[in-house]
A and B are shown apart, each in its own frame.
Chain A
Amino acid sequence: MSSDLFDKFQSVLDQHARLPKDAKDPFAVRMDEVHSQTEATINGKRTILVGTNNYMGMTFDEDALKAARDALDSFGTGTTGSRVLNGTYSIHKQLEATLADFYNTKYAMVFSTGYQANLGILSTLVGKDDYIIIDADSHASIYDGCALGTATLMRFKHNDAADLDKRLGRIPEGAGKLVVIETVYSMLGDKAPLAEIIKVTKKHGAYLAVDEAHSMGIYGKTGRGVVQEMGLEDSVDFIIGTFSKSVGTVGGFCVSNHPKFEILRLVCRPYMFTASLPPSVVASANSAINSLRHAHNLRGAIWESASHLHGALKDAGFNMGTSTAESPIIAICLKDMEMTVRFWSGLLERGVYVNMAVPPATPSGLNLLRCSVCAAHKPEQIETVIRTFLETAEGLGIKPSETHPVAEA
C-alpha cells in the first residue's frame, strides 16, 4: 500500500479543523443571488458586499452588458481554441487595440486571466542566464510566474528601494535583469514608492515590470493607474493588468513599447496553450475599458467612500493596515486568526461581506479583514458597514482597540 498522497496537506487540514465551530466557514461563502455591484444574497440574507475588487462597479455597467449580449449572439459562447490557432476573433484584436490606445503604448497582449498574464510574461521574458527580482509581498501569480521560468529568482524587502539597490548590485555584470513590483499591494492596499524604485532600476540597467491590477481605473487622469498618476510612463517597460477588478470581468494583459514585444505571442506558453477569452467577456472588457477613460465621477466617488470608511474605522480605534487610505483597499489588522474568523463571521451574520485574509496569504503573518470599496457604493451603505463593524465588536464583547495584534517580543 503506497502512502496517502494527501498526507502532505495535513497541516492545512489541521488548521482548517481549528476554525471556531460556531463561526461561518470563511472559505465556503456562497452567493445565491447577486443584486448589483454592491449587494448579494448570502445564506438567505441580503448582504452589502465590501470585498469584491469590483472597484469601478463595471460588472453591471449598461454598455458593458449590452456589448456582452451582442457578442454572445454574434460570436457564440466560446472560441474553443488558442489565440495562435482558431481563438483570435476580430474582437480580440479590437480589445488589444483598445488597450494599447488606453495605455498609449505600441503593443498589447491579452491573456485568459490576470494570473496567466503574470505567469506568461514573467516565465518567458527572463531565461536561465537572467535574474528576476521581485518585491517580497508580491502576489502568488508573480511568485508562480518565477517558479515556472528558469531565471534566477531574488526578492527584495517590501517597498524598500535601498534594499533593491543593494541586491541588484550583487548580480553579475552584464546579466539580464527584470524588476517586478505592484503599484498597489492587494492585502494592505499600500502603494509602491514608484519613483524611488525606478531610480534604482535605471541605475542598474534593469527592466521594470509593473503590475497595476489594483490601480487600473482608479488612479491617473484617464484611469491608467499609478504610473500615469505619477507621470512616470516613460520609465516603465511593461505594465501587467487584469480585467477581473476595475474592468469587471475576467482576463489579463500586458502592454509595452518594446519593439520586439509581439514575438512573445509565439514563445509564451501560458498565452499559447490555453483557450482564448469567450466573445462576451472580450466585448464587455472592451466596453468597460473605454468607459474607464472618462469615469471621473466614479473615481471621485470611490475615493470619497474609501477615505470615509478608513477615517471612521480608524477613529473608532481599529488598527488600520495603512495610516491613510492609499487605495480603495481598506484593511484592518486583528489580533489572531480566531478573532479574525469570529469578527468576519459576525460581520456576515449582520449582512456585511468583507474578505478575510490570514497567513500564509498575508504579509508579515497578519490576520486581516480586507474591505474593498466600490465606486457604486452609496454613502448609506458605507455608513451601514461602519456601524456593523462597531456592532460586531460589541457583539464579541470587545472594544475596537482590543482587536489590535500584539507586537511580537
Chain B
Amino acid sequence: MPSDSSLLSNTQLSKRIMALIGPFNKKGVALVPETSFAMDLDFDSLTVMDLVANIEDEFDMVLPLNMLPDLETIKDVTSAVENILGSK
C-alpha cells in the first residue's frame, strides 16, 4: 500500500527537507538543491546524523546511515528519500 508521502512531488519533498535543515543552518546560507552539507553549511558528521534522524521522523522511514558518504547535497538527500518512500 503506498503511503501518502510516496505521492509527494520532488519539489514538495525538497521543501520539507529544507525546512528540516533550517534549525541546523546557523550561518543562514541560502538553500538550493545543490547546497553541500560539508562545503556550504559546514556540517560535521554528527550534525548530518542529527538531521537524518529528523528526516526519518518527518517521513516515518529508515534512512540508513550507510548512505551518508553518498549524501553530499540537499538534492542527494531528496533523491534518497524519494527512492526509499517509493519502494515502501
Residues of A within 8 A of B (CB): 131, 136, 146, 152-157, 166-167, 170-171, 359-360, 363, 365
Structural contact, A171 and B44, CB atoms closer than 8 A: no
Structural contact, A170 and B53, CB atoms closer than 8 A: no
Structural contact, B61 and A155, CB atoms closer than 8 A: no
Contact A170:B56 (CB < 8 A) given known A153-B65, A154-B65: yes
Chain A: minimal CB distance from B57 (Å): 8
Interface string of B35-61 (1 = CB under 8 A from A): 000000000111001100100110011
Interface of A is mostly: mixed
Nearest B residue to A134 via CB reads: B65
The complex places the Cα of A171 from the Cα of B62 at a distance, in Å, of: 7
Q: Please give, as numbers and ranges, the residues of chain A lying within 8 Å of B46 by CB-CB distance.
A: 359-360, 363, 365
Structural contact, B61 and A153, CB atoms closer than 8 A: no
Q: Please give, as numbers and ranges, the residues of chain A lying within 8 Å of B56 by CB-CB distance.
A: 154, 167, 170
Q: Can you give 21 contacting A-B residue pairs, CB < 8 Å?
A: A131-B62, A136-B49, A136-B50, A136-B53, A146-B65, A152-B64, A152-B66, A153-B64, A153-B66, A154-B56, A154-B64, A155-B49, A156-B53, A157-B53, A166-B57, A170-B61, A170-B62, A171-B62, A360-B46, A363-B46, A365-B46
Structural contact, B62 and A154, CB atoms closer than 8 A: yes
Structural contact, A360 and B45, CB atoms closer than 8 A: yes
The complex places the Cα of A360 from the Cα of B57 at a distance, in Å, of: 24
The complex places the Cα of A394 from the Cα of B53 at a distance, in Å, of: 42
Q: Please give, as numbers and ranges, the residues of chain A lying within 8 Å of B65 by CB-CB distance.
A: 146, 153-155
The complex places the Cα of A154 from the Cα of B84 at a distance, in Å, of: 15
Chain B: minimal CB distance from A186 (Å): 16
Interface members, chain B 57-85 (any A CB < 8 Å): 57, 60-62, 64-66
Residue among B57, B60, B65 with max Cβ neighbours from chain A (10 Å): B65
Chain A: minimal CB distance from B52 (Å): 8
Chain B: minimal CB distance from A7 (Å): 13
The complex places the Cα of A167 from the Cα of B50 at a distance, in Å, of: 14
Q: Please give, as numbers and ranges, the residues of chain A lying within 8 Å of B44 by CB-CB distance.
A: 359-360
The complex places the Cα of A131 from the Cα of B62 at a distance, in Å, of: 10
Q: Please give, as numbers and ranges, the residues of chain A lying within 8 Å of B62 by CB-CB distance.
A: 131, 152, 154, 167, 170-171
Q: Please give, as numbers and ranges, the residues of chain B lying within 8 Å of A152 by CB-CB distance.
A: 62, 64, 66
Chain B: minimal CB distance from A274 (Å): 25
Q: Please give, as numbers and ranges, the residues of chain A lying within 8 Å of B53 by CB-CB distance.
A: 136, 155-157
The complex places the Cα of A171 from the Cα of B53 at a distance, in Å, of: 14
Q: Please give, as numbers and ranges, the residues of chain B lying within 8 Å of A171 by CB-CB distance.
A: 62
Q: Please give, as numbers and ranges, the residues of chain B lying within 8 Å of A153 by CB-CB distance.
A: 64-66
The complex places the Cα of A156 from the Cα of B53 at a distance, in Å, of: 8
The complex places the Cα of A360 from the Cα of B46 at a distance, in Å, of: 8
Q: Please give, as numbers and ranges, the residues of chain B lying within 8 Å of A156 by CB-CB distance.
A: 53
Chain A: minimal CB distance from B69 (Å): 10
Nearest B residue to A137 via CB reads: B46
Chain B: minimal CB distance from A134 (Å): 9
Chain B: minimal CB distance from A163 (Å): 8
Nearest B residue to A152 via CB reads: B64
Q: Please give, as numbers and ranges, the residues of chain B lying within 8 Å of A363 by CB-CB distance.
A: 46
Known A-B contacts: A152-B66, A153-B65, A154-B56. Give 6 more (CB < 8 A): A136-B53, A155-B65, A167-B56, A167-B62, A359-B44, A365-B46
Q: Please give, as numbers and ranges, the residues of chain A lying within 8 Å of B50 by CB-CB distance.
A: 136
Chain B: minimal CB distance from A174 (Å): 15
